Amino acid sequence: MTKKSKAGKDELVFLPLGGVGEIGMNLALYGFGSRHDRTWLAVDFGVAFAHADLPGVDLVFPDISFLEEERTNLAGIVITHAHEDHYGALIDLWPRLRVPVYATAFTANLLAAKVLGETGAQAVPVTVVRPGDRIPIGPFDVEYINVAHSIPESHALAIRTPLGTVLHTGDWKLDDTPAVGLPTDMARLKAIGEEGVLALICDSTNALRDGRSPSETEVGLELAEIVKHAKGRVAFTTFASNVGRIKSIALAAKHAGRHVVICGRALRRVIDVATELHMLDDLPPFLDEDAYSHLPRDKVVAILTGSQGEPRAALARVPIDDHPRIELVAGDTVVFSARAIPGNEMEINTIINALTARGVRVVTDRDRLVHVSGHPRRGELTEMYAWIKPTIAIPVHGEPMHLAAHADFARDLGVETVVTVKNGVVTRLAPAPVREVDEIDVGRLYKDGKVIGDIDGVGVPERRKLAFAGHVAVSIVMDRKGEQAADPDISLTGLPARDAAGRPFEETVMSAILGTIDSVPRAQRRDPDVLGEAIRRAVRGAVAEVWGKKPVCVVFVAVV
C-alpha cells in the first residue's frame, strides 16, 4: 500500500474538548474521514461555573480554537439537552463558528429566551428536531432518542456512520414515572443495540453509586407531605430548568390549597417556555413575587432561584433582609430541592446557617427525599450496557474518580474494549484497533464581565495577587538636578491600616521611598526606570518586613 492511499483511509475518531475528568463544559467531537480530511460533528457546547479561585470570572468555557481552525469542516453542533453544562457556551461562542445547530423545541426556545434576556447577545439559529428524528449531518446520521433526566427533552444520540454506530447517551436516568415527559425510550435503545453498536459514550456522574435512582414521582409525594404539614410559609429552591420539579411543587401546593409564587428571572423564563409547550397544563397560574406579601402565611408556596448559594439570587438575599418582597421568619420552611454542585457547599451552608439562625426550618436531601439525581446509578448503567452491547465503552461526564469507577464497571460487565480518555486526546474508534492517534492542545476560556479570554488575558493571576496582599501606588516627581520637585504621592489599597507595632503602613511606605531616593546616586535619580525599580523593591521589602507579605507595587516617576 502506498503512503498516499494509507493517508486516504477513512477513520471514525472521538475527541472530547471538555467534560472529561471535570464537572461541566461538555463538548465532544466525532470526526469522520481520512486523517488529514476529517468532517466533525460537535455534541453539546457547555459551560462550567467559576468558583472563588477565579475571582471575578463568571463562566468557564472549553477552548474552541481547534474548532475555529476547523470551522469549515465542522458539519454541525447537536445539543442533547438545555442544561448549562451542555448548551451554555452557545450564546458566547457560536458567533465564532456560525455552523448549524440542532436541538429540540424546549432547548431551542429556552436558548432564544436567554438571548432576549442578555443585552447584546446574538440570536443563535437552531434547526428544531423532534424526539425520534433522524438527521443527516455531513457523513453522520443522528437520531434523537428520548431519555429521562432532570430537565425536559433530554436525548441520547445514535450517531450512525459508514464505520459503525456510536451511542452517545448524554445525561440520563431510568424513571418509569417522570413528572414531565416520557420515560427513557428503552424499546428504541434495545432496537439500536440489536442493530449493533460500536461504541457507547456514557454518563459517569453516579457510577460510584449502587442501585437505581428513585423516581421523580416519589420526590413529588414527599414534597406534597412537607407542604401539607407545614404551618407557616414554605419556600422551595431548585434548579430553574427542572420543570418536572416545578410541576411537583405546584401540585403539592395545589393539594394543600396554597398559591405558588415564583422569584427569579430564570424561573419565569423556564416556566414561560414550558407553559407554551404544554408541559405545565392543568395547574393554577404561577404568581409573580408581588403577590407574596398579600397571601396568608399558610396559603403560599414560593419557588426561589439560588439553590447553589449564588449570592445575587433570590434565596441568598432573604436571610439578610435584602430581598424587596420575600420574607421568611421563625416557623417558615425552606426546602433545598436540589443537589449541591461540588464546590458550592460553602456558599449553600452559609445560607442554611443564616436561615436556621432566624428560626426557619431547613429541609435538605440529607433529611428527606426532596431531590433525586438525573443521572444513572450502577443498576441503570447495567441495563444500558445490556441493551446496547457496545464493543467499545468510553466513560465521560465525570471527574477522574467517576470515570475510573465507570471504566471498571464496564469491564466487569464484559465490554471488550474500555477506553478512558482525556480532553484533547483523539481516539480512533474504527477501524480497529482502537487507539490514541493524536492529541491537540486544549485549554479554557474565561468569561469575565463582557470579556472572554484565557487566564492571563482576563487578568486572573494578577487579581489573585491583589486579593492576597493588596496594592501600593507611588508617584514621584524629580527635577533635572536629581532633586524631588514635589512630595511623593502614595495610595495603599487592601493593606492593613497599621502593623503589629501600631505604625501606619503609610509611614512604612513613605520612609522606604525617601530612604531609597537618598541612597540612589544623584545621576541615576533622573532615570525613571532605575529610580522606579529601586523604589518598588524597597517598598515591597519594607512592607514584607513588618507584615510578612509583599503587595503589588506600581511606581510612577516623572522628571520635570
What residues make contact with Zn ion under the rule CB under 5 A? 83, 85, 171
- Between 109 and 242, name the residue whose CB sits nearer to Zn ion: 242
Q: Please report how close the Cβ of residue 85 comes to Zn ion at its closest, in angstroms.
A: 4
- Between 83 and 168, name the residue whose CB sits nearer to Zn ion: 83
- Between 15 and 151, name the residue whose CB sits nearer to Zn ion: 151
Concatenate the DSSP letters of all residues of 198-223 into one string: SEEEEE-TTTT--S-PPPHHHHHHHH
Q: Please report how close the Cβ of residue 82 comes to Zn ion at its closest, in angstroms.
A: 8
CA-based nearest residue to 31, from 10, 5, 3: 10
Q: Please report how close the Cβ of residue 345 comes to Zn ion at its closest, in angstroms.
A: 19
Q: Please report how close the Cβ of residue 423 comes to Zn ion at its closest, in angstroms.
A: 15
- Between 85 and 175, name the residue whose CB sits nearer to Zn ion: 85
Q: Please report how close the Cβ of residue 19 comes to Zn ion at its closest, in angstroms.
A: 8
- Between 81 and 259, name the residue whose CB sits nearer to Zn ion: 81
User: How, if at all, do strands 552-559 and 471-478 pair?
Assistant: parallel
Q: Please report how close the Cβ of residue 171 comes to Zn ion at its closest, in angstroms.
A: 3
Backbone angles phi, psi at 423, to 5 degrees: -55, 130
Q: How many CB atoms lie within 10 A of CB 322?
A: 12
Q: Please report how close the Cβ of residue 104 comes to Zn ion at its closest, in angstroms.
A: 14
Q: Please report how close the Cβ of residue 512 comes to Zn ion at its closest, in angstroms.
A: 53
- Between 153 and 289, name the residue whose CB sits nearer to Zn ion: 153
- Between 78 and 534, name the residue whose CB sits nearer to Zn ion: 78
Rounded distance between C-alpha atoms, residue 17 and residue 441, angstroms: 9
CA-based nearest residue to 533, from 552, 510, 554, 511: 554
Backbone angles phi, psi at 32, to 5 degrees: -130, 135
Residue 556 carries which DSSP code? E
Q: Which helix (H) or strand (E) holds 136?
A: strand 134-137
Concatenate the DSSP letters of all residues of 448-516 into one string: ETTEEE-TTTTTHHHHHHHHHH-EEEEEEEE-TTSSBSS--EEEEESS-SB-TTS-BHHHHHHHHHHHH
Rounded distance between C-alpha atoms, residue 112 and residue 155, angstroms: 19
Q: Please report how close the Cβ of residue 172 comes to Zn ion at its closest, in angstroms.
A: 9
- Between 83 and 536, name the residue whose CB sits nearer to Zn ion: 83
Concatenate the DSSP letters of all residues of 253-289 into one string: HHHTT-EEEEESHHHHHHHHHHHHTTSSTTSPPEEEG
Q: Which residues contact 100 (CB under 8 A, 6 or more apart)?
A: 75, 76, 77, 125, 127, 137
- Between 64 and 147, name the residue whose CB sits nearer to Zn ion: 147
Q: Please report how close the Cβ of residue 80 comes to Zn ion at its closest, in angstroms.
A: 8
Rounded distance between C-alpha atoms, residue 333 and residue 231, angstroms: 9
Rounded distance between C-alpha atoms, residue 241 and residue 154, angstroms: 12
State the residue for C-alpha cell 493571576: 461
Q: Which helix (H) or strand (E) holds 18?
A: strand 11-18
**Are the C-beta atoms of 549 and 469 separated by less than 8 Å?**
yes
Q: Please report how close the Cβ of residue 149 comes to Zn ion at its closest, in angstroms.
A: 6
- Between 155 and 188, name the residue whose CB sits nearer to Zn ion: 155
- Between 22 and 448, name the residue whose CB sits nearer to Zn ion: 22
Q: Please report how close the Cβ of residue 214 comes to Zn ion at its closest, in angstroms.
A: 17
Edge to edge, the sheet with strand 199-203 lists 134-137, 140-147, 154-161, 164-168, 199-203, 392-396, 417-418
Q: Please report how close the Cβ of residue 202 comes to Zn ion at its closest, in angstroms.
A: 12
Q: Which residues contact 525 (CB under 8 A, 6 or more apart)?
A: 478, 482, 517, 531
Angle 391-394-400 from CA coordinates, rounded to 5°: 150
- Between 91 and 355, name the residue whose CB sits nearer to Zn ion: 91
- Between 26 and 427, name the residue whose CB sits nearer to Zn ion: 26
- Between 149 and 258, name the residue whose CB sits nearer to Zn ion: 149
> Residue 68, by phi and psi: left (phi above 0), alpha (psi -120 to 50) or beta?
alpha
Q: Please report how close the Cβ of residue 339 comes to Zn ion at its closest, in angstroms.
A: 12
Q: Which helix (H) or strand (E) holds 446?
A: strand 444-448
User: How, if at all, do strands 300-304 and 333-336 pair?
Assistant: unpaired
Q: Which residues contact 280 (CB under 8 A, 6 or more apart)?
A: 243, 246, 247, 250, 271, 274
Q: How many CB atoms lie within 10 A of CB 144?
A: 26
